[in-house]
Structure 1
Amino acid sequence: MKAKDFDQAFDNGEDITSQLDLAKARWPAQEQKRVNVNFPLWMIHQLDKEAKRLGVPRQSIIKIWVAERLKQAS
């Protein structure tokens, strides 16, 4: 499909997902990089307690809280 036809189909509200390779889709500025952070045991216990309460992994709690703090700082 030519770009012009793709754009027109999108603008017309047509389903264009069959034209996309979703396996290669990326969110802008959402690429990840692994980092290591050492926490005191008491923090890990508190994180695990909160994660269990919310039914999410520890990593999710950390990401959400860091993101919230970064938004407040900017």
Structure 2
Amino acid sequence: MKAKELDKIFDEGQEDILEWFDTEKMTKPNEEPKRINIDFPKWMVDRLDREARHLGVSRQAIIKMWLAERLGAA
């Protein structure tokens, strides 16, 4: 299918255009994970774990949430 045909289907709202895409491999730009290693003092890990348990999330999740909030990406 040519882009103009897909644009027309989308613009006219005739059907769901997602059926024309391979959504299994879709990613958001700049959202692919990048693994890093970081060292924290034990007291900080203990506090992170306590707060994570309180919120019912993993240590990694709370670190990501807090960093996203601080960086204005939440």
Counterparts of 2:69 and 2:25, CA distance in 1: 28
Report the counterpart of residue 9 of structure 1 in structure 2: 9
TM-score (norm 1): 0.81
TM-score (norm 2): 0.81
Report the Cα offset of residue 24 of structure 1. 1.4
Counterparts of 1:50 and 1:19, CA distance in 2: 44
The runs of 5 or more residues in structure 2 that have no matched partner are none
**2:62 corresponds to 1:61:** yes
Report the Cα offset of residue 2 of structure 1. 2.1
1:27 alignment partner AA = K
Report the counterpart of residue 36 of structure 1 in structure 2: 37
Counterparts of 2:63 and 2:23, CA distance in 1: 28
Could you say what the CA RMSD is over the residues aligned between the two structures, in angstroms? Answer: 1.7
The runs of 5 or more residues in structure 1 that have no matched partner are none
Counterparts of 2:10 and 2:50, CA distance in 1: 45
**2:68 corresponds to 1:70:** no
1:50 alignment partner AA = E
Q: Deviations over 1:3-62 (max 9, x none)?
A: 112112222333112111112101011122100001111111111111112121111110
1:4 alignment partner AA = K
Percent sequence identity over aligned pairs: 55
- More moved, 39-48 vs 12-21: 12-21
